[in-house]
Amino acid sequence: MTASVVVVGSANMDLVVATPTLPRPGETVLGESFTTVPGGKGANQAVAAARAGARCHFLGAVGLDAFGDELKGCLATAGVELDGLRRVVGPSGVALIAVDAAAENLIVVAPGANAQFTVLDAVDRELIESCDVLLCQLEIPLDTVAQAAAAARAGQTAFILNAAPARPLSAGLLALVDVLVVNQTEAAVLAGLDGGRDASRADNVPELLAGLLAAVPRVVLTLGAAGVAYADRDGTRLEVGAPPVAAVDTTAAGDAFTGAFAVAWAQGRPVEEALRWACAAGAACAQHWGASTSLPLRPDIDALYERAYQPQP
Ligand code: RIB
């Protein structure tokens, strides 16, 4: 049977400027092209999971504005099921993004409609209970994430939390997590290391993994182009390198990784295989411009996975 993933999360319209260099605080730089691209960590991960082969549902909110129409259209075109999408009075979420020549980005999100997504009803809870995996991020109210997590626990649905953007979380919410996916900054915030801005401690992968395993049973620590580190309470420790690619824009590479990982987890694939396959999805995404526009289809993930990780004849 096709694996099912339900994403409870955000949708944003990304307003993206390409620039030779990213500005420092107080600096103005002259950029190049400007584009609008449907994004938002929740919507990106829903599109990523659908393109990676899952039956995917999205619960979230967009405004009754033109951006809301476009965000809905993007999700529908990707095959994401939208019975739980709310249209609310007010603007849709927006992300201001600058991408530099080295494919790095800066992102600021104005939550808009995402902040109005505060209540899950009985139909939402039943849907979560019926799916293989619940996938959340932190661009919607934390109480909504907690409601979704409680429904997942009630239905024995696996709960994967991508704790992005970084926010401190309660022990009660973390206790419901089956797999935590974080980058080093997010991990440092959750582990309470100087607000996540102490670079030397955020670089200490074993310290981060050990700190997080006190709160959750499994941790995936994403390391950008270097790949990921994984640890669980059964003592498994894995390091998986990412396939080397020519990166154009790393926006949504983490979403491609997390969406694909959720699909592999829902399918019950062994963890090392799931991590490699998800790394292939993230690397494939970084080769293209934009958020939803760059999320790979399953055959593209499979091709990069085979090339990077399978012995060549
Ligand atoms: O992860 C990338 C996403 O972060 C962008 O699409 C932007 O909308 C922000 O949510």
Domain ranges of the chain: 4-8+41-91+117-309
- Tens of pLDDT, residues 89-100: 999 999 999 999
Dig out the tokens for 43 from the structure. 């919507």
- Tens of pLDDT, residues 205-240: 999 999 999 999 999 999 999 999 999 999 999 999
The pLDDT assigned to 169 comes to 95
Confidence label for 194 from pLDDT (cuts 50, 70 and 90): low
Judge whether 75 and 92 are in contact, CB under 8 Å: no
- Tens of pLDDT, residues 38-53: 999 999 999 999 999 9
pLDDT at residue 202 greater than cutoff 90 = no
249 is in an annotated binding site: yes
Query: What mean pLDDT is predicted for residues 141-163?
Result: 98
Distance 177 CA to ligand 1 centre (A): 22
- Tens of pLDDT, residues 272-283: 999 999 999 999
Ligand 1 in reach of 81 Cβ (< 6 A): no
Ligand 1 in reach of 251 Cβ (< 6 A): yes
Residue 14 vs residue 1, higher pLDDT: 14
pLDDT at residue 197 greater than cutoff 90 = no
Distance 39 CA to ligand 1 centre (A): 5
- Report the distance separating Cα 22 and Cα 97, nearest Å: 10
pLDDT at residue 134 greater than cutoff 90 = yes
230: β partners:
220, 238
The pLDDT assigned to 201 comes to 59
pLDDT at residue 200 greater than cutoff 70 = no
294 is in an annotated binding site: yes
Ligand 1 in reach of 41 Cβ (< 6 A): yes
Dig out the tokens for 92 from the structure. 């849709």
The pLDDT assigned to 277 comes to 98
Contacts of 34 (CB under 8 A, 6+ apart): 15, 16, 17
pLDDT at residue 176 greater than cutoff 70 = yes
pLDDT at residue 103 greater than cutoff 80 = yes
Ligand 1 in reach of 186 Cβ (< 6 A): no
Mean pLDDT of the chain: 95
pLDDT at residue 198 greater than cutoff 60 = no
**Amino acid code (one letter) for 197:** R
The pLDDT assigned to 173 comes to 97
pLDDT at residue 199 greater than cutoff 60 = no
Confidence label for 150 from pLDDT (cuts 50, 70 and 90): very high
- Report the distance separating Cα 249 and Cα 252, nearest Å: 9
- Report the distance separating Cα 312 and Cα 14, nearest Å: 39
Q: Classify domain 4-8+41-91+117-309 at the CATH topology level.
A: UDP-N-acetylmuramoyl-L-alanine:D-glutamate ligase (3.40.1190)
Distance 236 CA to ligand 1 centre (A): 31
Residue with tokens 């600021």: 108
Distances from the Cα of 11 to the Cαs of 59, 69, 138, 271, in angstroms? Answer: 10, 11, 12, 28
**168: preceding bond cis by omega (within 30 degrees):** no
- Residue 255 appears among annotated catalytic residues: yes
- Tens of pLDDT, residues 54-77: 999 999 999 999 999 999 999 999
Dig out the tokens for 279 from the structure. 């790394």
Pick the atom of ligand 1 nearest to 292's CA: 6
Catalytic residue among 124, 132, 178, 255: 255
